[in-house]
Structure formats: structure tokens, C-alpha cells
Structure 1
Amino acid sequence: MSRFLLLILITLGFQFAQSQCTPATQFEFSNFTGTSVQLNWQSTGSATFWEVEFGVAPYTQGSGGVIIATAANNMIISGLTPGVQYEFYIRSICGNQSSVFTGPLYVPGNYNFISGNVSYDVDMNGCTTTDPAAVGLQITATDSSSGIAFQAVTDVNGAYSLYVPDGIFDVSSTMLTSSITSSPVSATINFPNPSNSAVQDFCLTPIAVAQDIAVSIIPLLQARPGFDVSYDVRVMNQGTVPVSDALQFTYPNDLMTLLTAVPAVTASTANTLSWTYSLQPLQTLTYELSFNLNTPTDPNFPLNAGDVINLSASTYLTGADVNLLNNTDNLYQTLVNSYDPNDKTCLEGKTIAPDMIGEYLDYMIRFENTGTASAINVRVKDVIDTSKFDIDSFVPLSSSHEYYASITNGNEIEFYFDDINLDFNDATNDGYVLFKIKTLNSLTVGDSFDNTAEIYFDFNFPIITNTETVTISTTASVADPTENSILLFPNPSQDLIQLNSSYAINSLEIYDVQGRLQSQYDASTTDFESPISIVKLSKGVYFLIVKSDQGQETLKFIKK
């Protein structure tokens, strides 16, 4: 078995005279959360250290479990797998002598299981087996006394499962929109009960007609010059009515070459892929894309570490959509060379505009098993800075493998990939988790926030990711442009838009989503290095066609 994160081995190169060192007494546990436990004992005799050994029950002492040494007469052990019972043993260390091991102490003594299904009452006659499953919905069980929250996400069948200790729990579902209500809104479950298990289903019902489509780009690999890179593009119907529309994905075709698109595109141009889609409420579609990036020796458009590629995904919904901000997702991805495959990234970039204060940011944590054996369990821990983020707004979005999440100690989010059996071969040894969380409204321009994540493979010491720092800036979205690229910012915007181009612009035209010309500008009358007013435009999505000696490029922006 692998060693635990707090593993400290004390190697004593001599024989212990066990009869002269008395064992600890009153060996017991407290403060069990499902993922951590506090061990307590009383010291006796001349003991100066204690060794605790444990393993998954049934466990035989001395069979190669985890050994932890401490000079205190208590310790907190974290990284436990919820729903798994452990056996603990302890012995005293008295200088050059040791006592016999005492135990086992079983942790937890009681463990409880909550499960259920979540359905969407599409025909509004009560949830039945014919109604669609609510996929990717967050279910939370909160301990009424400690406030500790245990969370899970519904799977493709709308099912969820939660492991909780004894206590009284408030169980509820998290709605992505106020246009949908849940029955029940919440339920109280008291453990222990005779079976140590409970079933709680939820039925979701629309209470208003609302159209809300959300688009997101998920980078599955870091971008390295000359290598392949992959993305998932997700389209989710967060509204209450079916929607049929089109998805458009734009990429710099001079810098990257399309390899595969699944499902196949409906239409395409040199730098744009399009699909038509139909989505029922709470349904999600995923489009899998792979590209090959140019090398540093490309004769026309070389790529190097530090260059930025700009990708955009959007759907064409107009004013009927209740939230136009999430109809478009822009990804500014910085190229790297050699890199640590265990990392954390803010998908909005290292700078965000002031209008993102109080809005959601998307974070991806990637992990890769670079060891020599499969990882049976993987745990990802992210401590949220509650002086910068609203922990109550946390929403898990996506992952490479099935998992469940919990929030403990008020700000510690943990993602559990139990029985993942993550391989150690290059082709199958990686995974990720994606979530979103809102910044606080109290933040101001110039504020920054940084964060790291801890990744645990079985009982090994954690791998610490990079520190991801994000700054609020009035020049957010402006990155060093790659050759023959144009950046538009801020996006979305209410009054002005600005272009940052590596070459001279001759003219530009603004069209609405119906293809109607709204404005046009010429270099003889317009300074394209100055902001351009969009005050007269109505709220919605627009396309900006930029023409230069290098050709034509189409950008998209949202007028707030």
C-alpha cells in the first residue's frame, strides 16, 4: 500500500525491549468528517513518541500499512476515503524501546449512505420514469450542528450517492436557474437510523418560461508547440424550454490544424466550425475537438512558449435568452514547453475585466499519474480564499471521471475519485475536474487572488500545483498577440470596444446575428487604435468583420 500524505517514518536501528515501554491507553477517535479523523490517547510511562499504523479494514497489523509517528498524544489524519472503514493500531516509543501495538480501533464506528435520483418534470404532471434525468446537478447534505457540507453530482442517469457520519442532515439540490423549482426544496434526514441508509429523490419543475444556454470551452491538455491539443466544448440548456440553435467555434487556423471533430461539423470555414443542435431543459451536449499546433520552426506562423492562442465558442441566441453573458466563452491559452501535468488554471485568463467582479470564474485542476503503478483513488483538495470568493456559489461543472465533492471547514473543497484506478501509461494516466465560483462584489480593480491545489494519489504525499494568480485589470483580455491576430476587449461590453492588432486595419463592419449590417468604419475616417462606440447597439450578440492587407477576420462580441 502507498504511504499517506503525513507519512513520517522513524527508523530505529536497534532491537526494542518491549517489556519496558508501556502501551498508550484510552485509544479513541473524534471529529470524524468522512475524510479526516482525530485520534486521541493517554500517554503512560516514559513514552516520548507514538507510532500509529493503519490500513483499510480488514487489516492485519504489521502487513505493510501506513505508519505515522508523532510526539503529541493526538493527531489528525486526513485524506481518508469516505465510506471506507479503517483499522488503527498504536504503540509507544520510549527512547530505544517500544511497547506492543494495541488495537484495533475501527474508524468510523458508524457510516451512513444517502442516495436518490433527480428528474425533470418535462410534461408537468409529476416526475415519472419517462421524464428525463437531471444530469450534473449538485446535491448537498449539510450537518445541522457542524455546518459541514457533503456534496455529490448526479450522473448520466440522474442518480447520486453521499456518505455521511451520524447527525441530522439537510439535503437539497442546487438550481442553476431561478426558473426551476425542486420538490422537495430540501429534506431532513436523521442518522443513525435502523438501516444506516436513506433514499431521497428530487423532482424539478419549471415555474417560468426561460431560455438560457451556457457555453464553455474545456482545455484537456496544455498547449505545446508542435504537439496535439484537445478541447471539449460544452453546450448546456439551463432554461425551462427546449432550444434548437447553432454552435460556432472559432480558432486561429494559421496557428493550428484541425485533426478531429466529434460529432462531425454541420458547416465550416477556414477558421470556424459550426454545429446545429437541439437541447431539452437541463440537457448537455459535448463536442470533442483535437488540433495540431504549429512548431517553432514553422516557416510562416511559428509558435513558441509564451505565445497566446485565442479560441471562442458561441451560440446565436439573442434577447430571448435570460443571460447573454454565458452564450459565449473565450479561452486565451498560453503555450508552454516542458510542464508539470498537475496544474490549476483559471479559464478566463490571468487577468479579468472589472465587469467580472461578482461573476463566476471557471477553474480547471488537472492531474496525471506519473508513478509506476495505477492509482486506486485520487483526491483533489482546493482551499478557497473566502476573502475573495463566495464559497456558497461553488458549482462543479465537469470531470474526466466520476467523482463526488465535499466542502469542509467552511472553505475546503475536496473532489473524490474513488476506484478510479488511474493508469500510469501516458495515454491513459490523466484526468481533470472543472468547477466555477463567484468572486465577491467587494473586490476592486487592482485586486488579485492566487490559489494552489493539492492532489493526492492513494496515500502518497500531495502533489502541489502551480500557483494560479488572477488580477482584476481594466486591460483584461489583452494578451501579447500572436502574429496575424486581433484581440477584442472588453467582451462583453456596454459602451466601447477596443481592438489590439499586430497589423494595420483597413476597415471593419458590425453585423447582428441575422446578418444585418449595423455599422461600418473606414481607415480614412476612423482611428482603429482608439475605442469604438457601441452605445447605439441594442443588447445582444454581434459579429465584427475586420479587413486588412492580411485578409479578413471575424470576431464576436456581446453588447450588454
Structure 2
Amino acid sequence: MTLILLTICFAETNAQYLISSTSITNSLDSSCHGPTAIVHTNMYSVGQTVENSWGDGSHDTVTVNNQSGMGHMGKQHIYTSAGTYTIKHVLLYNNQRVDSAIQSYFYQFCKTVFIGTYNDVNNNCIYDTLTEKTNRIALTLEVDSNNVAIDTVDILDGLYYTLKGFPGTIYKFKVIDAPQGVQVTCPANQTISDTIAQFLVNDYMPKSFGINCTAVPGFDLAEHVSGRAGLDFHRPKITITNSNCNVQNPTLTMHYSPKYSFVSSSPAPASNTGQTLTWNLNNISMINQAQVYTSFVLSGPATAGDTIHTTYYLTPTTGDIDTTNNMVIIIDTIHQSCDPNHKEVLPEGDILAGTTLRYVIEFENVGNAPAQNIHILDTLSNNVILGSLKILSSTHKVYYTKLEDGLGHSIAKFDFPAINLPDTSHHDSCSGNVIYTIQTKPGLPDGTYITNRAGIYFDFNDVVMTNEATNVIGIPQSVNTLSNVTHTNLYPNPVADILTINTDATVYNSVEISNTIGQLMLQQNIKQNETKVNVKTLPAGIYFATLKGEGGSKTIKFEKL
């Protein structure tokens, strides 16, 4: 579904009320719908309506709504045939025509398929819901349209994929990568096919790959950690997975910062000695993962910006196919406050073009009733490779959908259906996350910003927006050894008025503060190890403090409230 052309025609140039803009968007869900036409007027008034002529012989009239003093009309239309349609909107005020606009829209037939996996224990290539379980298998699929490869996509629990084209177009989903020791046995050619029909299809039977285990020895344990440190508390969540069929009973060990005291965890630790906790976990395989929820409070004086180190590792490692994901070292700074619904990215700050980024989106039910369904809409930067998105883990079953809004934005949708997330009184189980990686495009020029923000939807409540996670392409070329070991703190973060920078004044002698589009907002000399910067006049948003001097440069992100 593609917007081809936009032409605005003014019927009466001296009219008080005019059409200021028009656009076409697509519904951001996993079902196929017709386009939604959007019309804005320069000024709202009671008595405004819009007549829509959809180009297929159908017409309707829609009342204009007030949107911050401007008029807004949104109307969805479903076409029964593919083709290019000329859509005309006529603005009326008290039934008098005052302005008009025309836009052209190319409509394709659409169908949505669901691809999942199951453990075919009966070896009959039929998913028996009573005796067979769905799997959390990371498969990489090549997507073909009429035998032409058009996409690559990774799935974990399941994938919604929208097919577009003329009736008779055949789509194929072929497995091109699977974990070691996992064999895709159904279908025998490891390919699922579907065909676009003459009509819209929104209700369908899911299609799944049957999975079996081979006799290949070994396993692949991994741990995925989320949770920011705060002045009030620190609640890391650890997800333990095994992408192999061979069941393992691993031990998770956590060395935590002496700045915190352990309060509780679910499940309870097997041992608690000094700053070390251990958990003995059972039956971890490709169809069964484990969750460890922990809770800590500060054990003594600390300030926002202090650094903490936490180490997590899994044993055994003998026989593990990939031991690089058995240990996680988290170096975090203590935050003044922690929003339970937030997004973080690693690595932070300056990166090279082509770098693979790791995003964590955390959500928490802060309401007083369980959340039945949750979904996340994550608008991706145009500077990343959409086909490289790979879900590493999630605390709950998640279905992935690749969406386009019709305005040039790619959106990753993460569905948590029937999650039934407990309310805020259950601190150990009222939160969750999804963790994924995605690659930035190679060849991006220095100074390119990679920004990302997600919207979290709890049932039918208003969207909860996360913070904006930002990276900048470009690594300083003249950074000597001194700058690599210089300890720098910036706090509080977020900040309302005075930003404090602690660093070595013999290494850095100035600080520049820029916004997310690279505009220099403030500049100040660094004359002592503790520097105060007044940022009170800056608009709320994300900023970057770049320290410069003999040691090269160092950039730290902060948020202005």
C-alpha cells in the first residue's frame, strides 16, 4: 500500500478555513485493512465536514474534530479491487464548499499469515495442541514472492507477516538457519507457502514449522539481563535460555555491587554469601526457559551518577556450543529516578557505522488490575537494517510483526497476547521485557543520529512512551590511553536545572552540549574536576555532553526534564 502523489487544490483561495495537509496511513496491527485518509484544516470550527470521494464510486461525509485548534478528519476505506485510486476530499463549512484536495493511492491485495513452531514429538507433521508444545526457537527465514527473495526475518515464538500483491502471488517462507542440534522436519522441504486470494483475508489458520531434536551433543545456555539501577531500588531481571534440545540444570551466579543490599528474589537463591547469589535452575531447554526476578536497595550513601558493576554467569560451560553468552557484565550508573517503562541501548553513545545495537524495552504494570494484553510499537530509525532485527529473548511469549505506517516509517510490533501481567502489588512478577539486536547501516557519515523510542500499550489504555535511546555515528580518531581510563560522571540524569560533571580537568578542558540533531546548545570551559552547568533554559528532551581536551573527546547522553 503506497502513497503515490499528493496534490492540494484550493477551491477558494480567500476562504477562512483551508485544508492544510492530507496523508494516507495504514493500520498498525497484524491484520489487513484498507487505508486511512487523514485531512487537517488550518483552523477548527463547528460546522466543518469533509466529503470523501474514494475513486471507486463510493462517497461519504465525515465530521471534522478539534485537534489543538486545528481540524482533523480520519476515515478508513476498504477497496475490493487492486489498482491506483484518485481520492478527493472537499472541505465544507456550514454545508458550503470552501476547499478541496486530491491524492492518489495505489492499493494492493493483502493477506496476513502467522508462522510459528512446535515440537513434533509424534513425527506426523500435525500440531497436536494436547501433546505437543510450541517452541521458542530462533529461526531465520528467507521470504520469497513469486520465487524472488524479498526479505529476511528472524522469529522466536511467532511471526505475523503481511503479504501484498495481485491475486495468485505466491509467498514462501524458507528456513535458512536454525540452532545446532535442531532439525526442521515439517514441511519436509522446510518451506511454508501461502497465496494471495481475490479477497481480503483476516481470519486464517496459523502455519507452523515442526521441530525435532537430533543426536548432536551439546547445548547453548544464555542469559539476558535488564533493569536500571536507581537511588530507591535496583530490580534486575534475568532470563535464562537454552537454544538446544538437550536439557540442562544450570547454576546462575550473580556478583552484585556492595552499594546495594539484597532484599529478595523469585525464585529464592540457593545461596547468599557476601555479595554473591546463586540459583540452581532445572529443565532448561528450547521449550522451557527460566526467569529470575531480584530486588535490591541501597546499602549506604550513594549519589546519582555513581558507577556499579554486576556480573552474571552460567555453569556448566563444558559442552556449551557458545560460551560467549554465558557471562554478562553490566556497568551501570545509578539514576536519580527510574521509569519502569523505558528503553536502553548497548553500546551507548558514539558508534561505528555497521555496529549491531542491542535494545532492551522494559514494561511494568503500574495499575491496580492485571493487564490482559500488552503490545509495543517500536518506531525504528531509517538508519538501521530492518531485516537484521533478531529477538534474543523476552520474559513472556512474544509475536513479532513488521509494519509500515505509509509515511516512510518502519515499525516493529511486539505482541504479548493473553499475558495477564499482575498489577503493581506483585513486585516480583508485574514487569517484563523484550530484548533484540539490529544492525546499523554501513557507510553512514559521522554525525548521523540513530534514535529510537517505543510506545507501550496496556490493554485499551493510553500509550505509555519510553525514553529515547540515541547513538551517534563517529568515533573520535585522536583519543589517547589517558582518555580511555579517565573516570567521568554526569549527574543527575535526568536533570532539571544544574548538571554536574565530575572528571579530570587535566584531561578535558571544555564541554559542549548538543541536541539530537547536532545543534550546539551550550558550551562551557572545564577548570576544575567538578563542573556545574546550568541547563535550566534547555527545552525538555535528550542531549549530549561532549567533553574535549588533551585526552580527545568523550560523549555522554543525558535527559533534560
TM over 0.5: yes
- Identify unmatched segments of 5+ residues in structure 2: 1-14, 40-44, 53-59, 77-86, 98-106, 490-561
The letter of the residue matching 2:230 is R
Q: 1:376 to 1:209 in 2, by over 3 A?
A: closer
Whether the 8 Å CA contact 1:405–1:413 is kept in 2: the answer is no
Give secondary structure in 1 for the equivalent of 2:325. Answer: helix
Contact 1:367–1:455 (CA<8 Å) still a contact in 2?
Answer: no
Match of 1:267 in 2: 271
* Letter aligned with residue 311 of structure 1: T
Which residue identity is paired with 1:224? G
State how 1:57-206 maps to structure 2 within 5 Å.
Answer: 92-94=90-92, 97=95, 112=111, 114-115=113-114, 118-120=117-119, 129=128, 130=131, 132-135=133-136, 137=138, 142=143, 144=145, 147=150, 153-154=156-157, 160=158, 162=160, 164=162, 167=165, 168-172=170-174, 175=177, 177-182=179-184, 183-184=186-187, 185-192=190-197, 197-206=204-213
Q: Which residue of 2 aligns with 1:282?
A: 286
Instruction: State how far apart, in whole Å, the 2-side matches of 1:75 and 1:368 are.
Output: 32
Aligned to 1:362: 358
Q: Which of 358, 381, 390 pairs up with 1:395? A: 390
3-state DSSP of counterpart to 2:136: coil
The RMSD of aligned alpha carbons is 5.7
SS in 1 for 2:289: strand
Contact 1:456/1:462 (8 A) holds in 2: yes
Alpha-carbon contact 1:150-1:406 (below 8 Å) kept:
no
Deviation of the 1:328 alpha carbon: 0.9
1:381 aligns with 2:386: no
Instruction: Quickly say closer, same or farther: Cα 1:258–1:313, change in 2 above 3 A.
Output: same
Inter-CA distance 123–344: structure 2 relative to 1 (3 Å threshold): same
TM-score (norm 1): 0.55
Alpha-carbon distance, 1:258 to partner: 1.5
Q: 1:321, 1:166 → 2: CA distance? A: 42
8 Å Cα contact 1:378-1:420 kept in structure 2: no
Residue equivalent to 1:494: none
**How far does residue 178 in structure 1 lie from its aligned partner after superposition?**
4.6
Name the CA distance, whole Å, in 1 between partners of 2:179 and 2:241. Answer: 12
SS at match of 1:380: strand
From 467, 470, 482, the equivalent of 1:468 is: 470
- The alpha carbon displacement at 1:250 in A equals 1.4
Verify the 8 A CA contact 1:313 1:330 in the aligned structure 2.
yes
Please report how far the alpha carbon of residue 413 of structure 1 lies from its aligned counterpart in structure 2 after TM superposition: 3.5
Determine the C-alpha separation between the residues in 1 that align with 2:195 and 2:140.
17
Residues 239-260 of structure 1 show CA distances to partners (whole Å, capped at 9, x for unaligned) of: 34333432211112x2112122
Residues 107-506 of structure 1 mapped to structure 2, 5 A cutoff:
112=111, 114-115=113-114, 118-120=117-119, 129=128, 130=131, 132-135=133-136, 137=138, 142=143, 144=145, 147=150, 153-154=156-157, 160=158, 162=160, 164=162, 167=165, 168-172=170-174, 175=177, 177-182=179-184, 183-184=186-187, 185-192=190-197, 197-206=204-213, 209-220=216-227, 222-225=228-231, 227-252=232-257, 254-279=258-283, 281-294=285-298, 298=300, 302-318=301-317, 320-346=319-345, 348-350=346-348, 361-367=357-363, 378-386=375-383, 389-399=384-394, 403-409=398-404, 412-417=410-415, 427=425, 433-439=433-439, 450-455=450-455, 457=457, 463=465, 465-469=467-471, 480=487
**Is this contact kept in 2: 1:32–1:165, CA < 8 A?**
no
Q: 1:399 to 1:235 in 2, by over 3 A?
A: closer
> Does the 8 Å contact 2:138/2:179 carry over to 1?
no
- CA distance 1:441–1:190, shift in 2 (3 Å): closer
Q: CA deviation at 1:109?
A: 11
Q: Percent identity?
A: 15
TM-score, with structure 2 as normaliser: 0.55
CA contact (8 A) 1:215 1:329 kept: no
8 Å CA contact 1:138, 1:396 repeated in 2: no
For these two proteins, the number of residue pairs brought into alignment is 411
The 8 Å contact of residues 211 and 238 in structure 1, kept in 2 or not, is answered as: no
- Separation in 2, partners of 1:390, 1:41: 29
Distance apart, 1:188 and its partner CA:
1.1
Checking the alignment, whether the CA contact within 8 Å between 1:317 and 1:327 is kept in structure 2 is no
C-alpha deviation, 1:29, in angstroms: 8.2
**Change in 2 beyond 3 A, CA 1:425/1:51:** farther
In structure 2, relative to structure 1, the CA distance for the partners of 1:393 and 1:76 (3 Å cut) is farther
The 2-side partners of 1:375 and 1:52 are apart by 39
Deviation at 1:38, TM superposition (A): 3.8
Offset, 1:326: 0.8
Give the superposition deviation at 1:314.
0.9
Separation in 1, partners of 2:176, 2:123:
20
**Structure 1: 5+ residue stretches without partners:** 1-19, 43-47, 54-59, 78-88, 100-107, 155-159, 483-560
